[in-house]
Amino acid sequence: MQIARVALDVPLHRFFDYLVPDGELLTAADIGLRVRVPFGRQSKIGIVVELPETSDFPLAQLKSIDAVLRDLPALPADWFRLAEFCSAYYQVPLGEVMLSTLPAGLRRINPPKARQSRRSAKLPPPHLAPELTAEQKAALAAIKDGGEGFKAYLLHGVTGSGKTEVYLRLIEGALAAGRQVLLLVPEINLTPQLEARVGARFPDAGLASLHSELSEAARARNWRAALEGSARIVLGTRLSIFTPLPDLGLIVVDEEHDASFKQQDGMRYSARDVAVFRARERDIPIVLGSATPSLESWANATDSRTPARYTLLTLYERAVENARLPAVRRIDTRLEKLQDGLSGELLRAIEKRLERGEQSLVFLNRRGYAPVLTCTGCGWISHCTRCAANLVLHLADGRLRCHHCGFESRVPKACPSCGNQDIQPFGRGTQRLEEVLGERFPQARILRVDRDSAKSRKQWELLVEKIYAGEADILVGTQMLAKGHDFPKLTLVGALGADSALFAADWRAPERLFAQLMQVAGRAGRAELPGEVLIQTQFPDHPLYAALVRHDYPSFANEQLTEREQAGFPPYTYQAMLRAEAPLMADSLAFLATARAWLQQSEHGDVMLYDPVPMKLARRANLERAQLLIESPSRRALQISLSEWGVALDAIKTPSRLRWHLEVDPLEF
Ligand code: ADP
Ligand code: ZN
Ligand code: ZN
């Protein structure tokens, strides 16, 4: 009787042995095939990971595999190593990693029937490659000189400097060498033109996109094309880092600083970090590109004290001739009374654009009408009953909405507490800004772009088309508008409400603010028309804004890194966060205290344990949340502790409604 060891999607750090059914004989080449097996009273899809000679269990106890699925080639060995790395690094059982990274359609017993491919027939016009600029040439030459083996490059280039063109040339080279390419992007919905651009440049490469908005069947189909080798380019969001690619020869991570590369539930991985591991493991080059690299990557490229060394390549100039970086100026809002949050200078600048038939963008990273509704009589404010957070007023559809748990209710006509009819929105979101600008500039066509107005890809594409077609004069938008777009008539960006990030408790807030403002500034003046960026602030002398005015990412980054080093923050220390949530805070804290005590009494070398504390958003959806930070100057010491801890945590008895997870390299606190 032959035994097959099978990985299953269960939260246990082990595999399961099954008997291979009569008439099947599995060989080493079949390791990596999917199988259907009985598990308890269910049937599950698993992956064959080993064909052991013996089992720890008596053969008579082993159940038999129901079916060996040969509809897909076996998953390759390097895919296994990738899963093993993630399992060890992120402390997630290997079976869970393997199965959870398969497209849903390939791990379900009864996947929905694939509908006919809805691929649109219209092919984009062929995209001609421009003559490279000197800077692009130099960057490409440096990467070519690096050879075909592992090397990590950080391509730092201001918005519009032609990073994408560099990627396209690299892709061209890899395809010509018979290799496959993986191109990771933060949110594909926001960058349909990139997809079009890659598809047009490489019409024969079987471009396969992979992101969560695809239907299950389409995702499975594209994934299969990658595994079978018919797709030579995979363009996808973070989940696509797990696509098996037998001929992988190059990985590109665009906008590598973007927080959406971090998965926020289940296995909390960073697709960028996994990509670097994968490139090293496959011994191929990887290019990380950004106008505002993450400080981790920047340190890796510029700071000799950090271990991983990236090669820094810089594009200083915009690629299109005569396209200048926009002039960035600060408007000191301490000196005047703002009109509905808008300074006279910004209003005049918008007016000028209207006269010239150009577009303006007012950037406010807060959607909704107002962050809270208040009663002027008794001081009542609109709280979410399920979270330690306020309900945001959405006047457009007359709702109060919690941005944390999704709870919503109608806007009350009177104060629920005292009956007073005078309840007022407090503060300002994009909807209110849209209204204010409409009153101010009745002749202007105003378009709001945020997660509410662009819920689906379709809606987003319609909005983008309108902007391109010049059917809007003033755009009001959140960071959605900051990403990857080239609006030729947009010449003015006004930024409101930026200051709040300067003094936030989260020490990563300035990094995010700088990146956002730099990105949004990058939208102005991309073509012939010069751009202008106005930042309303009460802290015009803040060094962050000073660096922004000079478009000086390096000095901002270096200053931040100095501060982080002094404070003992990443990337000069390594962190992991244990979080727990339960109906009662006391239970969450008690679990963390037990976990902490376990780690403290064990040999844990160079690891520092903080105290369990309630999270900033201490209650969400009726669960009370707490966290425990652990930290070490040594990545290795941290990893060793975590691997022992991970197992010990599973053994801690917890109240039935308590949930916990461990996050390595947490980004948010
Ligand atoms: P980035 O990715 O750095 O923001 P892109 O690659 O999207 O920059 O380039 C910005 C604009 O410049 C695009 O319109 C692109 O077509 C154009 N462009 C890129 N490289 C060149 C070049 N060498 N010559 C002329 N135009 C270029
Ligand atoms: Zn009241
Ligand atoms: Zn809520």
pLDDT per position as a tens digit, 482-516: 776 778 899 999 999 999 899 888 899 999 999 99
Domains and their CATH numbers in the chain = 3-107 (3.40.1440.60), 134-315 (3.40.50.300), 327-367+429-563 (3.40.50.300), 574-664 (3.30.70.330)
Q: Look at residue 120 in the predicted model and tell me its pLDDT.
A: 47
Q: Look at residue 121 in the predicted model and tell me its pLDDT.
A: 42
Nearest-atom index, ligand 1, CA of 166: 6
Q: Which residue has the higher pLDDT, 257 or 159?
A: 257
Q: What is the pLDDT of residues 604-644, one digit of tens each?
A: 678 999 999 999 999 999 999 999 999 999 999 999 999 98
| CA 133 / ligand 1 centre spacing (Å) | 9
Least confident of 58-67, 101-110, 266-275, 621-630: 101-110
Distance CA 390, CA 382 (A): 6
% of the chain exceeding 90 in pLDDT: 79
Distance CA 552, CA 558 (A): 10
Categorise residue 260: left if φ over 0, alpha if ψ from -120 to 50, beta otherwise: alpha
Whether 114 has a pLDDT exceeding 90, the answer reads no
Q: Look at residue 605 in the predicted model and tell me its pLDDT.
A: 75
Q: Residue 281: beta bridge partners?
A: none
Distance CA 357, CA 352 (A): 9
| CA 381 / ligand 2 centre spacing (Å) | 8
| CA 388 / ligand 3 centre spacing (Å) | 7
Q: Are 209 and 105 in contact (CB under 8 A)?
A: no
Q: What is the pLDDT of residues 227-244, one digit of tens each?
A: 999 999 999 999 999 999
Q: What is the pLDDT of residues 127-171, one digit of tens each?
A: 688 999 999 999 999 999 999 999 999 999 998 899 999 999 999
Whose C-alpha lies nearest to ligand 1, atom 26?
320
Nearest-atom index, ligand 1, CA of 161: 3
Q: Look at residue 504 in the predicted model and tell me its pLDDT.
A: 84
Tokens 């939208």 sit on residue: 523
Whether 410 has a pLDDT exceeding 60, the answer reads yes
Beta strands in 148-223 (DSSP E): 151-157, 180-184, 208-210
Whether 457 has a pLDDT exceeding 90, the answer reads no
Whether 6 has a pLDDT exceeding 60, the answer reads yes
Distance CA 620, CA 630 (A): 23
Nearest-atom index, ligand 1, CA of 168: 6
| Distances, alpha carbon 219 to alpha carbons 44, 101, 267, 270, in Å | 20, 12, 20, 21
In this prediction, residue 267 has a pLDDT band, given cuts at 50, 70 and 90, of very high
% of the chain exceeding 70 in pLDDT: 96
Q: What is the mean pLDDT of the chain?
A: 92
- Its pTM stands at 0.93
Give residues (CB < 6 A) around ligand 1.
Answer: 130-133, 136, 157, 159-165, 319-320, 486
Q: Look at residue 125 in the predicted model and tell me its pLDDT.
A: 66
